């Protein structure tokens, strides 16, 4: 499968069920009032590794044959895929090496090392990440588990939306953050596989808006360094994820870092949830859609993608009281 | 019913079902490892009013006859009962007046006023609270809904444990914070009604340990001002709640404010939950029981009672990174 289907997502859900418990769907009256409709918060920050990435990494590692598994796995990641891969590899008892860019939050590095993976730091560019992981593979024979450009990973990420639509059968829209596009691709495949009428939106920081510009241009636009507090959203679409998003008519809304911080504050004050900046981008995007006058159905799903942030940094970001 | 029974709790659950959705039970691998057993976090801070108090207040207000309802309700509360009563009264369309002690967090006062209740401030003593609410009743004819010394309220609070035991049938212990004892009484009645072997513990700040001292002395001990960051736990047991706790052989563990802050940090870092100090006391108490070598069963429930805290204050309390 170069492009996974709803059947692949359902198979992934069955495959990972014993290792990845379902996450709750949370509600907040105050957030409903803010957005103007019923908002269902898919709490992907409540995974054992603090992010949805555990779904795709677990699915990919369980699909390795014995020979591949024996060689171990490797990946580059700004953090959440790394921790997920480390935990999934440890559960299968295989080696794991992850390449992380300098500047990765210490919470994410610590979680990866605590799970038993070897961490190699590199310069904070996509080129350095790819080159370093290629060297690891050349040296060790490890199998690369790409953080998003992998149909096994995309199918795994889709299981979040499978759970969401089971919990909220009448859902009319789902908003997910977009970085490399693995989560958003899995979201679109799953939502549209179940009901083609569900609107699927991506949300992206203005400072890392390659998906927005790529979909607008009708071709993959890869240019410029990223500049955003959402450290989990700095990757760029692959040809595969671009094609999936384009074919599913997915649109992307962009938000400023201040809007993301506002959403973090709302989630803390109104829903009592602590999420990392990337984890609040989808809610910020939904608020922007509401402000833009986009029609919102009665029930909207928002994927809170992760919660791995140093508490000191979180407090500094969410430093004021209730947003106005 | 001067003392509610499990049947009263079950009736309360049916009565409030359409107004008070069940709260999730959350897990954290890191918290399990910290405590040394499986910890099931009953997320009572995720109610619409941010605390378990909505259960008892809703049950009490729905049980008022038409004549009583027409006179409106009044109560004194350090905050969470106030907001709950205000919301429950507004839903039934009746008047609500609440007396709050000076020093009540602005979050709690704002939530109460936003729900349409009239707030009257008084000196921060239990005597001033009782006297002020008595004056309100004399002036308006309102019906007092006591925050804990009321069997309707106790039965309502018990519904949290009913949900917890339905979600985790093999639960061997439950830990709840204790202030006036309404939640803990409802917890004991419900847990022991379902299975008398479930161990029921209260957790209380050392700076407001009247329940600990009362149960140790075998009589109600009401003395001394409270001194704790857990502003929701400064009330003292009534004769009714003392008797229930004594008859159910409930024990109380005390924790310092620093232990409560440590538990708040754990809940933030490991479970991504933002709770008020009172909401972390039960987890701090369970950690103390583990440190004391008390036998812990395989599955332990902990009631996270509330999440209403100003974000600035929360950040100041949880100012360091991961606890050692």
Q: How far apart are CA A124 and CA B196, in angstroms?
A: 58
Q: Do A48 and B29 touch (CB under 8 A)?
A: yes
B322 touches chain A (CB under 8 A): yes
What's the whole-number average pLDDT of chain B?
A: 94
**CA geometry: angle at B104 spanning B243 and B133, to 5°?**
60
CA dist list (Å): B117 to B72, B133, B150: 11, 14, 21
pLDDT band at A78 (very low <50, low <70, confident <90, very high): confident
Q: For residue range B171-197, list pLDDT tens digits in order.
A: 999 999 999 999 999 999 999 999 999
CB A184 within 8 A of CB A250: yes
The answer to whether the beta carbons of residues A148 and A241 sit under 8 Å apart is yes
pLDDT digits (tens, 9 = 90+) for A186-221: 999 999 999 999 999 999 999 999 999 999 999 999
pTM, rounded to two decimals: 0.93
Of the CA atoms within 13 Å of residue B83, those in its CB half-sphere come to: 24
Q: In what order do the strands lie in the sheet with A118-122?
A: A118-122, A96-101, A73-76, A143-144
On whether the CB atoms of residues B23 and B116 are closer than 8 A, the answer is no
What pLDDT sits at residue A1?
Answer: 62
A53 phi and psi, to 5 degrees?
A: -55, -20
Taking CB atoms and an 8 Å limit, are B315 and A318 in contact across chains? yes
Q: Is the CB of B103 inside 8 Å of chain A's CB atoms? A: no
- Write the residue in A268, A307, A312 that is nearest to B321 by C-beta: A312
For residue A273, give the chain B residue with the closest CA.
B273
Rounded to a whole number, what is the distance in Å from the CA of A175 to chain B's nearest CA?
A: 21
pLDDT in tens, B290-317: 999 999 999 999 999 999 998 989 999 9
Which domains does chain B carry?
6-51+150-317 (3.40.50.1100), 54-144 (3.40.50.1100)
Say if residue A248 is exposed, middle or buried (CB neighbours under 10 Å; 0-12, 13-18, 19+): middle
Between CA A202 and CA A116 the distance in angstroms is 33
Query: CA-to-CA distance for B211 and B217, rounded, in angstroms?
Result: 10
CB contact under 8 A, A320 and B307: no
Closest-approach residue (CA) in chain B for A108: B269
The nearest CA of chain B is from the CA of A273 a distance in Å of 5
Digit-coded pLDDT (tens) for A237-289: 999 999 999 999 999 999 999 999 999 999 999 999 999 999 999 999 999 99
All residues of chain A having their beta carbon less than 8 Å from the beta carbon of residue B45 are 272
Is A80 near chain B, with CB under 8 Å? no
CB within 8 Å: A315 and B315: yes
- pLDDT reading at A322 higher than 60: no
In A, which residues are within 8 Å of B46 by CB distance?
Answer: 26, 271-272
- Shortest distance between the Cα of B109 and any Cα of chain A, in A, equals 14
Q: Which ipTM score applies to this complex?
A: 0.90
Position A108 scores a pLDDT of: 82
- B27 close contact with A: CB closer than 8 A: yes
Which DSSP state fits A308? -
Report the distance separating Cα B155 and Cα B176, nearest Å: 15
Q: Do B312 and A319 touch (CB under 8 A)?
A: yes
Q: How far apart are CA A54 and CA A112, in angstroms?
A: 12
Q: Is B306 on the interface with A (CB under 8 A)?
A: no
Residue A79, CB half-sphere, CA atoms under 13 Å: how many? 28
Give the Cα separation of A108 and B110 in Å (integer). 36
Cα–Cα dist A39/A42, whole Å: 10
pLDDT at residue A57 tops 70: yes
């Amino acid at each position: 499968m170069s492009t996974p289907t709803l059947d692949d997502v359902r198979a992934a859900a069955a495959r990972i069920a014993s290792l990845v418990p379902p996450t709750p769907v949370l509600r907040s009256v105050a957030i409903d009032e803010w957005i103007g409709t019923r908002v269902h918060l898919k709490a992907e920050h409540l995974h054992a590794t603090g992010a949805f990435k555990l779904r795709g990494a677990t699915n990919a590692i369980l699909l390795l044959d014995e020979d591949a598994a024996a060689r171990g796995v490797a990946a580059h990641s700004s953090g959440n895929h790394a921790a997920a891969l480390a935990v999934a590899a440890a559960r299968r008892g295989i080696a794991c090496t992850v390449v992380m860019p300098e500047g990765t939050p210490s919470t994410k590095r610590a979680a990866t090392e605590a799970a038993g993976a070897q961490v190699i730091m590199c310069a904070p560019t996509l080129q350095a990440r790819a080159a370093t992981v290629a060297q690891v593979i050349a040296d060790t024979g490890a199998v690369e588990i790409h953080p998003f450009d992998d149909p096994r990973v995309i199918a795994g990420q889709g299981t979040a939306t499978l759970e969401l639509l089971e919990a909220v059968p009448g859902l009319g829209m789902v908003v997910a953050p977009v970085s490399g596009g693995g989560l958003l691709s899995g979201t679109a495949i799953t939502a549209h596989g179940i009901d083609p009428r569900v609107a699927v939106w991506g949300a992206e920081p203005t400072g890392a808006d390659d998906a927005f510009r790529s979909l607008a241009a009708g071709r993959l636009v890869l240019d410029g360094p990223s500049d955003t507090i959402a450290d989990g959203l700095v990757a760029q679409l692959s040809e595969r994820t671009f094609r999936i998003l384009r074919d599913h008519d997915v649109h992307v809304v962009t938000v400023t870092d201040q809007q993301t911080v506002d959403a973090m504050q709302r989630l803390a004050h109104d829903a009592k949830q602590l999420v990392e900046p990337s984890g609040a981008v989808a809610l910020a995007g939904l608020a922007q859609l509401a402000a833009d006058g986009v029609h919102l159905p009665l029930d909207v799903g928002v994927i809170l993608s992760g919660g791995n942030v140093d508490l000191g940094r979180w407090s500094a970001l969410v430093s004021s009281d209730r947003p106005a």
